[in-house]
Homo-oligomer: A and B are copies of this chain.
Amino acid sequence: MISKEDIHKVLEGYDKKKLTIATIGSHTALQIMKGAKDEGFRTLVICRPGKEDFYGRFGIADDILSVKEYIDILDDEFQQKLIEKNVILIPHGSFVEYVGAKNIEDKLRVPVFGNRAVLGWESDRGREREWLIKAGVRVPREFDRPEDIDCLSIVKFPGARGGRNYFLAKNAVEFEENIRGMKLEDRENFTIQEYIIGTRFYPHYFYSPLKNRVELLGIDIRYETNVDGVARISHLLGEHPNPSFVVAGNIPVVARESLLPRMMDIAENLVKASKDLFKPGMVGPFCIESICTENLEFIVFEISARIVAGTNLYMQGSQYSQLLYDEPMSTGRRIAREIKDAGKENLTRIVL
């Protein structure tokens, strides 16, 4: 386990005038690098073979490093190379998925933006639920055993694999039908959640410890295959396949203004709860996955405590970001701005 002290020692050795913002080439890397460039940083992207050309074509990557597998960034030599370049890593969904929350906490000496302790909380469904409940947020019911299912439910599997293999079931029989074909490992590691019907909202927030405020930077709806394709013509399908929920993209949305205060309350309560659960709490971007019911109540079924893919809609800023910022402020740029604002003195408050 790498301690905060170890990381802050690495930070101490950095040339603060030559920081490099880096991430893994996937998920929100384009946005992160564009934002970093806009704020005057050098950028670096770590790619798997074959992706270098793609990431090179936009003129926003000052440096491109290749690794065979993303996990290789944990190699001592590779880490040393990053440290020599004064790298601050920005974790995103694929980053956490491919490197692993535990590996990041235990083995990554390179400074990472935010509080790396949060990654263990958001990627473990049990702790995630504890956090949500502690924050007073409404969550869906969960069923420990398939036999307990008494309403339409969604069955989920661990990791940020974008909804792969998720399925719906109304009872234990449908559960069994769906789980039968899966690998043993998956079959033992599921969560059964009440499926809430309503409008989906995935608000993107940013918590700045420097300003001590939560900002709303945009909202999206996930565009999922094949459920969104099935829904369009479901009555024409002879048989009704169980849809899959693989996130393929995102669609922009705004919420009724009278819902925004509640949306902000939820976010602030989550920040507050995080300060109790893992001091000094969450830092930087996060997102809740929520459903707004017909009674206009929000049920929160997940929290992502890092930049989410839906923010890619707002690489030019959003309706909401421009209430706060005169420039086009994406979440990627907001991260870079926080690092810039921290300057030499306060980097240890946002790299934990």
Contact = CB atoms under 8 A, between A and B. Distances in A.
A275 to B, nearest CB: 19
Nearest to A319: B315
A34 interface: yes
Given A59-B324, A199-B248, A294-B225, A152 B253 contact: no
A209 interface: no
Interface stretch (A81-89, A115-123, A125-133, A235-243): A235-243
Chain copies in complex: 3
Query: Is chain A's binding surface mostly helix, strand, loop or mixed?
Result: mixed
A170 interface: yes
Nearest to A231: B232
B199 A226 contact: yes
Contacts of A246: 294, 296
A57 interface: yes
A162 B8 CA distance: 52
Interface residues of A, number: 84
Contact of A319 (B94, B224, B313): B313
Contact of A227 (B233, B237, B264, B316): B233
Nearest to A169: B236
Interface in A240-296: 240, 242-244, 246-261, 264, 291-294, 296
A293 B314 CA distance: 25
A256 B309 contact: yes
A27 interface: yes
Contacts of A225: 198-199, 292-294, 296
Given A54-B261, A225-B296, 18 more contacts: A26-B257, A26-B258, A57-B264, A152-B236, A170-B238, A195-B233, A196-B229, A227-B232, A247-B256, A248-B259, A249-B256, A250-B254, A257-B312, A312-B319, A315-B319, A316-B317, A316-B319, A322-B328
| 8 nearest A-B residue pairs (beta carbon) | A197-B229, A54-B261, A315-B319, A199-B225, A234-B235, A244-B294, A199-B248, A198-B225
